Structure 1
Amino acid sequence: MSQRSEGDLTNTGMSLKHDREWDYELDRIVEAVEERDAEKVGLQFPEGLKRRAPAVADDLRELTDGVRYLISGQPCYGACDLDTYLMRRCDVFVHFGHSPMKESDKIIYVPLFSNVDPFPIMEDSLEELADPDDDPDVGLVTTAQHMNLFEEMYDWLEERGFEVHTRRGDDRLTHEGQVLGCNYASADIDADQVLYVGGGKFHPLGLAMEHPEKNVVIADPVNNVVTIADTEKFLKQRYGAVHRAMDADTFGVILCTKIGQGRFDTAEGIVEENENAHLITMDEVTPDRLRNFDFDAFVNTGCPRITTDDGPRFHKPMLTPGEYEIAVGNEPLEDLEFDTFHGTW
């Protein structure tokens, strides 16, 4: 659920009058508004696209009569990050920038795709993949931003002699070969090497942690670099947090109230088993908001990126549920693994 620049996103369909570079499928939104006789429509944008919100609302107002368009100001980093307060108060709710995760008659997902050409960097990635004459099997995964070219990527690899393996994963994943920052089930394929096409390090790092038996090659078309996912630095950081938490007497267990991130059973189970653990409900988990709580350590049951990306910024150790079990002695240290979400909401 990473923040993205709007500079490398595009889409297809009706274009914004005020923004010809972008297309937010206004025709589909207008059709839904008219079909449902909607009076209030909520619009939610990821962080890098919030500046586009007024132009989208202006164009929609011109295309529909008597409809109020309300813009969500809540932080948004993924399809699981819905503004439920606004959604409950609208007849139609439009979420821009991510693939569908929660099916609903009220919610419209408008995915935005990258316009960066991935094939030059995929060509460079061949140097890190095994020669297809020696090992033809390769898994292919990508993020929602590049999913519009997934079939072409698949064909491109096949044309170079590879036998490409893909799967859809579980119910949190919309597309064949798609990975999320919290779910890498699509890489559970019969191949010893996986090509990840996409930006950032978080997704391939999680993939490498979830599937340590595989060689994960990163072809990043945004930054135009090819690298190998290296978990060593990440593991040292996580081992350090677990060791510091082994001396903790009190734990704050965070239950994220965002619709796609709440693991109530996990959070409640920890609190029920540990009399020195207390449940804290939060929508947005930040170091500043936790600084007012005087716990020795925290357990995050929400988005794994809170722990892995921002963990060092918290004033006390921030653990995943699995790391907590290790810190209190319920599991051995060698069982440390990446925190992932599986299944439906």
Structure 2
Amino acid sequence: MSQDAYSEGDLRNTGMALRHDREWDYELERIIDEIEERDATKVGLQFPEGLKRRGPAVADDLRELCDDDVTFLLSGQPCYGACDLDTYLMRRTDVFVHFGHSPMKESDKIIYVPLFSNVDPFPIMEESLEELDDPEENPDVGLVTTAQHMNLFEDMCEWLEERGFEVHTRRGDDRLTHEGQVLGCNYASADIDADQVLYVGGGKFHPLGLAMEHPDKNVVIADPVNNVVTIADTEKFLKQRYGAVHRAMDADKWGVIFCTKIGQGRWEKAQEIVENNENAYLITMDEVTPDRLRNFNMDAFVNTGCPRITTDDGPRFHKPMLTPGEYEIAVGNEPLENLEFDTFHGTW
């Protein structure tokens, strides 16, 4: 691939690649153009947890391309998605750049840089064919990925079609920007007419949630970052959830958590639970952690914020942490067989 084929912000075009990994496209030129167009003097930069260590170097690179009167401020607040914006910093800057996620809700002030990956997904997709059904026997397959690989989504579809598959894709709801995109809390793009889904992306965080939301589908993981193909196995997670529900069935005092992060609040749901249970207490928090909840003398908690706090971090809490649906089972309003994965839909 020639240098001209890279996007303008690709670090291999800027001469700054030695300061960063070459996996991501920081779109530096686009950011500079926006700063100049808006005559900004204060620019906020927000990175997800796994990329915060790269923040100072990105700020250095941007300083070299900007006038001296432009100040860059790094957000130190926890960030796990586009639902997790640092609104305090955003209000105090002229331009706010959010790295690592696609827009959940558009704003003139926010520049979303999804950090498109430069990793070639097709070799690992080739290996994933061994886990998919023979297209001559079952050609239907769903295709989903994350924001980092959306720049190659159409190419991935064509690649599968060339090998005899009928690829099913859709855009989910308003929380999703792109067709075929999945989030850690939303898998509506996998609501397709196929009993097998190919997930192309790094790690198991997204595909395990997808498999729990769609237990009837075989979810094949083609991970181009770690160069491995696996099948999403939800057995361990389901056992944890059943165990948490059973432990909470004897609870008397319930803490109902309302998350104050801009894109994670379900106020109506939290109020509904409290209004229908005289032994339930509404607790507002921005960051939900085990240490913070230890100070509350509760028998169990209901998390109306990000569902992944419950499913991924649940075992770390000293008392059972349930989703709203699991709470209904624990208090006897729903049967145990109605247990399902909690998802987030819509925006703020």
TM-score, normalising length: structure 1: 0.93
What does residue 3 of structure 1 align with? none
Counterparts of 1:277 and 1:125 in 2: how far apart (Å)? Answer: 47
Aligned to 1:37: 39
Q: 1:12 to 1:299 in 2, by over 3 A?
A: farther
Deviations 1:180-229 (A, max 9, x none): 00000000111111111122223112212222222211112222222222
The offset of 1:23, in angstroms, is: 4.4
Within the alignment, does 1:146 sit opposite 2:149 as a pair? yes
Matches within 5 A, 1:2-81: 13=9, 15=11, 18-20=16-18, 21=22, 23-62=25-64, 63-81=66-84
Identity of counterpart residues, as a percentage? 86
- Please point out which of 332, 337, 342 is paired with 1:339: 342
Paired position in structure 1 for 2:224: 221
* Residues 90-105 of structure 1 mapped to structure 2, 5 A cutoff: 90-105=93-108
Whether the 8 Å contact between 1:140 and 1:166 is mirrored in structure 2 is yes
CA distance in 1, matches of 2:97, 2:59: 11
Counterpart secondary structure, 2:181: coil
The letter for the 1-side match of 2:34 is A
Counterpart in the other structure of 2:289: 286
- Alignment: residue pair count: 336
Distance verdict in 2 for CA 1:203–1:235, change over 3 Å: same
- Residues 258-277 of structure 1: pairs in structure 2 closer than 5 A: 258-277=261-280
What CA distance in whole angstroms lies between the structure 2 residues aligned with 1:211 and 1:183?
11
Please give the root-mean-square deviation of Cα atoms over the aligned residues, in Å: 1.7
What is the distance in 2 between the residues matched to 1:49 and 1:181?
17
Task: Indicate conservation of the 8 Å contact 1:168/1:186, yes or no.
Answer: yes
TM-score, normalised to structure 2's length?
A: 0.92
1:159 aligns with 2:162: yes
Residue 240 (str. 1) matches residue 243 (str. 2): yes
What CA deviation, in whole Å up to 9, does each residue of 1:305-344 have, x standing for no partner? Answer: 1111111010000001110111111111111000101122
Query: How far apart, CA to CA, are the structure 2 residues paired with 1:64 and 1:330?
Result: 61
Mapped partners of 1:160, 1:195: distance in 2: 14
Gaps of 5+ in 1: 1-9
Q: Alpha-carbon deviation of 1:301?
A: 0.9
For residues 223 and 54 of structure 1, do their structure 2 counterparts lie closer, same or farther at Cα, with a shift above 3 Å needed? Answer: closer
Counterpart contact for 1:11–1:112, Cα < 8 Å: no
- Paired residue type of 1:318: M
Cα distance in 1, alignment partners of residues 288 and 257 from structure 2? 8
Contiguous gaps of at least 5 residues in structure 2:
1-5
Write the letter of the residue equivalent to 1:157: L
